[in-house]
Amino acid sequence: MSAELLIAIIITVVGASTPILIAALGELVVEKAGVLNLGVEGMMLIGAVTGFIVMFTTGNPWLAVLAAAIAGMLSSMIFAFLTLSLSANQTATGLALTIFGTGLSALAGQGYSARPVDLFRSVFPAELATHPVWRVIFGYSPLVYFSLIMVFAVWWFLHKTRSGLILRAVGENDLSAHSIGYSVIGIRYAAVAFGGAMAGIAGAAFPLLLTPQWAERMTAGRGWIAVALVVFASWRPFRLLAGAYLFGLVMTVELYSKAGGGILSTIPAELWAAMPYIATVVVLVLISLRRTGSTSAPACLGKPFLATN
């Protein structure tokens, strides 16, 4: 394998992994607060179409990312109101949010299909961003660096700050947190809003980082992979980073297998394409077979909180 091919593979893996990592980090914080939001896919699609339309209209990628984050956050508030204020079932509401996001994005994206936009390129000097070697470090979109920074930021927030400790306490024992004066519902609203914003940014990464155009369902199930990845990583940010890049590697192998040549071409490309989703199903099945005490999931995950309890 030539050095040039290796560098190309690394860059492709990083690009494929970034949306999954961003969405999974947001979902991790949400679940640490004791809320299970299965609407990540829907929020990503809403973020994707919003980011694309703003980028197509203004040509400003920063504004497109901001708009996508706001759109994702607003869509998450629908879920938050139904589940936190009205105590609706979190699983059913999350699935409904995915269906809603899929339909809304398809409707909003009508008329934009096959219209190109510019990719959100590196902010570093062209001499570094396009250098045959240095582009491995400096040749990425700001979204890639954002995702890596957020891994450390989320870990620091959850384990080194008082606010993170409170959020984890709400996820582990909401009644105890409520009894000492913390607003369980308020904290969970904030966590869901953060998760929605991250899902929106992850969705915007598709037209701004990977494919510079709009297509219906362009996230292709990556939101479900992000949800499963949180469980796969045992709710730990650095394991999340490794897991996201593992999934990105599998997706990259699929692309190179389609190109043909070498041992990769001996395995059908359709099998490579299915592997991330097969792994997602396997992870969820394995987790469901665990005993309750053997998982590191937040104790109150998915359970509604009633202040009168």
pLDDT at 222: 92
Nearest-CA neighbor of 28 among 243, 281, 288, 274?
243
- CB-based contact 7:135 (threshold 8 Å): yes
The 10s digit of each residue's pLDDT in 21-49 is: 999 999 999 999 999 999 999 999 999 99
- Identify whether 58 is part of a domain: yes
Q: Which two tokens stand for residue 25?
A: 């980090």
Question: Phi first, then psi: what are they for 214, rounded to 5°?
Answer: -100, 140
Q: Which two tokens mark 75?
A: 């869509």
**246 three-class SS:** helix
How many structural domains is the chain composed of? 1
- Residue range of the domain that includes 49: 3-220
Q: Among candidates 101, 87, 81, 86, which has minimal Cα distance to 38?
A: 101
Asked whether residue 105 is assigned to any structural domain, the reply reads yes
Least confident of 74-83, 90-99, 188-197, 216-225: 216-225
pTM reported for the whole predicted model: 0.91
Would you say residue 156 lies in a domain? yes
Percentage of the chain beyond pLDDT 70 is 89
Q: What is the mean pLDDT of residues 201-224?
A: 93
Is 121 domain-assigned?
yes
Range 160-179 average pLDDT: 94
Q: Does the pLDDT of residue 167 top 80, yes or no?
A: yes
As beta bridge partners, residue 214 has 113
Name the token pair of 84: 């936190």
Please, what is the angle between helix 61-80 and helix 184-205, to 10°? 140
Task: Give domain status of residue 209, yes or no.
Answer: yes
Q: Which amino acid is at 4?
A: E
Please report the pLDDT score of residue 1 as a whole number: 56
Q: Is residue 14 part of a domain?
A: yes
d(CA 44, CA 101): 8
Nearest to 253 by CA among 9, 26, 50, 20: 9
Domain assignment present for residue 67? The answer is yes
The CA-atom distances, in angstroms, between 301 and each of 123, 222, 230, 267 are: 40, 22, 13, 39
Burial class (CB in 10 A: 0-12, 13-18, 19+), 237: buried
Question: Average pLDDT of the chain?
Answer: 88
Q: How confident is the model at residue 192 (pLDDT cuts 50, 70, 90)?
A: very high
pLDDT digit string (tens) for 240-264?
Answer: 999 899 888 888 877 766 665 555 5
Segment 190-199 shows an average pLDDT of: 98
Phi-psi region of 51 (alpha: psi -120 to 50; beta: other; left: phi over 0): alpha
pLDDT value, residue 134 = 84
Task: Give domain status of residue 68, yes or no.
Answer: yes
The tokens for 203 are 């969705």
CB count within 10 Å of CB 81 equals 14
Q: Which of 256, 257, 280, 265 is nearest to 20 (CA)?
A: 280
